[in-house]
Amino acid sequence: MNKKEGMFGYIFISPWIIGLLVFTIGPIIFSFILVFSSWNLIGPLKFVGFENIYSIFNSTFFWSALRNTAFFTLYVPISVILSLVVAVLMNRIPGSSVFRLIYFLPSVTPAVANAAVWIWLLQPSYGVVDNALKNWFNIQGPGWFSDPNLYIPTLMMISIWGSIGYNSILFTAGLRSIDKSIYEAAYLDGSNAISTFFRITVPLISPTIFFVTVTSVIWSFQVFDLAYMTNNGVTSYYNITLVQYIYQLGFQYFHIGEASALAWILTGIIFLITLFELQAEKKLVFYQ
């Protein structure tokens, strides 16, 4: 390592260093000050100690947002299982490239546009889904977005629809890396399709299953676009998600301190989930 090389090294990474200081470390330090301050963006900053954190934990909106978000996250295992099935089935059929394209469409289009069309499809009484239920099955369609008990399951359904294509592409890549001779050996040993799937495919792509689950859970805790579009004054405030609550506190009510506290609580939750999943990885994932 010579001096000149060292200098060039810093020159090449300097964009990132500057960005790190200005857009990440600086804001993080400032954010820690904000957590303990009361501020509305305009007036003077006032130190309030742990008041913001107390008021978040005492807010019923926080607990319902946490509950809604955690409940919403349960779409992940469903999506992972369906995506895995789709990937395995696609692996053995003709025309899979066309199907892969169709399944992937909702993953590439903006979530806001996806939300818009689903709101239209599930519109009470005159939306096409409710119309079909009424005319063909004589069922009164439920309030997909307006019924508080059905709201989160509806978001889960839309998210499953939107994530199968993306996840199954990751699984397809995982499947491709499995040595074909293992399957031939299993076939010769008389293993049927079901037991081959559970005893060979699943263990061998467990690293991919794990990766997909971890990233999906992290994303699902940050759900915003879909929640904002479907719950913007339409349903009750008790249906908000965590990031939506940060947005409301910070950018609609300008309770900057409370919003910062909530942002750090969310970050803490995400770190805890990541730690937990890394622990689980050691037990569940099979590495060749």
Residue 154: closest CA among 131, 122, 132: 122
Q: How far is the CB of 208 from another protein (least distance, A)?
A: 6
Residue 158 half-sphere exposure, CB side, CA atoms within 13 Å?
Answer: 29
Amino acid residing at 283: K
Number of residues forming the site for another protein (CB under 8 A): 97
Residue partners of 26: CB distance under 8 A and separation at least 6: none
> Nearest 5 degrees, angle CA 66-CA 238-CA 71?
40
DSSP summary character for residue 127: S
Of 53, 80, 212, 240, which one interacts with another protein (CB under 8 A)?
Answer: 212
Least Å from the CB of residue 151 to another protein: 18
Site for another protein in 40-79 (CB under 8 A): 41
What sign does the dihedral 55-59-62-63 (CA atoms) show? positive
Question: Applying CB under 8 A, which part among 47-55, 68-76, 145-153, 245-253 lies near another protein?
Answer: 245-253
Residue 232: closest CA among 145, 108, 166: 145
Question: What minimum distance in Å lies between the beta carbon of 212 and another protein?
Answer: 7
Specify burial of residue 238 (Cβ count, 10 A radius: 0-12, 13-18, 19+): middle
Which DSSP symbol is given to 142? Answer: P
Among 56-64, 90-98, 137-145, 196-204, which window interacts with another protein (CB under 8 A)?
90-98
In terms of CB distance, is 116 or 139 closer to another protein? 116
Is 274 near another protein (CB under 8 A)? yes
Task: Provide the mask over 94-133, with x wherever binding to another protein is found by CB under 8 A and - wherever it is not.
Answer: xxx--xxxxxxxx-xxxxxxx-xxxxxx-x--x-x--xx-
Indicate which single residue of 79, 216, 243, 248 sits in contact with another protein (rule: CB under 8 A). Answer: 243
Binding another protein by CB under 8 A: which of 20, 81, 139, 182? Answer: 20
For another protein, the binding residues in 139-168 under the rule CB under 8 A are 161, 164-166
